[in-house]
Amino acid sequence: AQKITQTQPGMFVQEKEAVTLDCTYDTSDPSYGLFWYKQPSSGEMIFLIYQGSYDQQNATEGRYSLNFQKARKSANLVISASQLGDSAMYFCAMREGPYQLIWGAGTKLIIKP
Amino acid sequence: SQTIHQWPATLVQPVGSPLSLECTVEGTSNPNLYWYRQAAGRGLQLLFYSVGIGQISSEVPQNLSASRPQDRQFILSSKKLLLSDSGFYLCAGQGENTEAFFGQGTRLTVV
């Protein structure tokens, strides 16, 4: 069974609009971490934001915020005021245990001018 | 800060030739290290991970092998490349309770 599910293979969004990228996860471990990464066409993986399973507040980093709904096992990434440079692949990942990193299939985001 | 140096950035190799991709880590000690392969437009496939020197775990049986001769050195190898080995290879590291950090990737084309 998929442990990390990103249901949106691709999205088109108008520049300056907010974007929500979906991520649901499945784990029985009470201690886990959730990550979002951006991968532009150059291929590098850029860390965006992290949410720990015990964190009480949703994580925020500049224009990025993570909508963490623990009961629903979802960790959606919200990008406010999207920019052309936000066009990229976005990956959700979960750390389960000391070294297990589990990755979603990714969402390709295209920002339209 | 934690960084990974991975080289080369691109590589074109004939079928049947050997492969050696290397990455080195700076800014942290005893990280977990990972080799991933990524097909075009797809997610990351974990190939190998290492929790310490000489400790390698393989996730997918295949034509590749990995070694960790030093704490901050992780090597991906093959004795004979196949066409199906083409792809984008990423080396990653992760310290305790930190996010994973990545190298720049190697785009391998087997011809």
pLDDT of res. A100: 77
Q: What is the mean pLDDT of chain A?
A: 93
Task: Name chain A contacts of B43, Cβ cutoff 8 Å.
Answer: 91, 103-106
A94 in Cβ contact with A3 (< 8 Å):
yes
**Span A54-87, pLDDT tens digits:** 998 999 999 999 999 999 999 999 999 999 999 9
> Taking CA atoms, what residue in B is nearest to A51?
B99
A66 in Cβ contact with A76 (< 8 Å):
yes
CA distance A103 to chain B (A): 7
The DSSP 8-state label assigned to residue B9 in this structure reads S
Place of tokens 């391998």: B108
> Taking CA atoms, what residue in A is nearest to B38?
A43
What one-letter code names the amino acid at A23? C
User: How far apart are alpha carbons A79 and B36 in whole angstroms?
Assistant: 27
**Span B40-75, pLDDT tens digits:** 878 898 999 999 999 999 887 688 999 999 999 999
pLDDT of res. B59: 82
pLDDT of res. A2: 64
CA distance A44 to chain B (A): 5
Task: Name chain B contacts of A38, Cβ cutoff 8 Å.
Answer: none
